[in-house]
Copies of this chain bind each other. A is one copy, B any other.
């Protein structure tokens, strides 16, 4: 397998999951500084021009929640998801989908506002940037109070949801949100940093 990633992006989540699974893969940097994600070569891999993307023997997979479930299903011995329990699997997916469709989207309004208003409308983009710390804090308050079971996201068992939460909780400082305001998530963050998988991936990303 070849895993396409970019530095300090959401690809961190899947990369940690691949390490937790003990997967054999080659990693391939996509350089966002030269907008390589928009190059003809990369658009052949992912026409959406985003990371991550995973080339498997059967084809290419994109989108973080899809990749996380795929890693868990393909390496069942690593026990990264409640694969035999549709309800618990749905709770895992519910969490991952909240991160991708609400929390990551909140964060994206800091730097990627031109996705949703015209490129030269700097005023609206600045208005979006200004609200990010508020929307991210609201999302993490909901996770802290309503969603996170503990000690891991789903309860007693570690899962790919923990890889994803760690990835996004790493963005809080840059979004001007104090992670210590969320004691359970902060504790989770510190415990994640002790894992060899996380240390290996953080070194790659210079986090």
Contacts and interface: CB of A to CB of B under 8 A. Distances in A.
A41 interface: no
Contacts of A128: 116-117, 124
How many copies altogether? 2
Given A105-B101, A127-B124, A90 B69 contact: yes
Interface band, chain A: 35 or more
A146 to B, nearest CB: 4
Given A127-B121, A135-B115, A101 B101 contact: yes
Interface stretch (A59-67, A176-184, A189-197): A59-67
Interface of A: 47-48, 56, 58-59, 61-67, 69-70, 73-74, 86-87, 89-91, 93-94, 96-98, 100-102, 104-106, 109, 115-118, 121, 123-124, 127-128, 130-131, 135, 142, 145-146
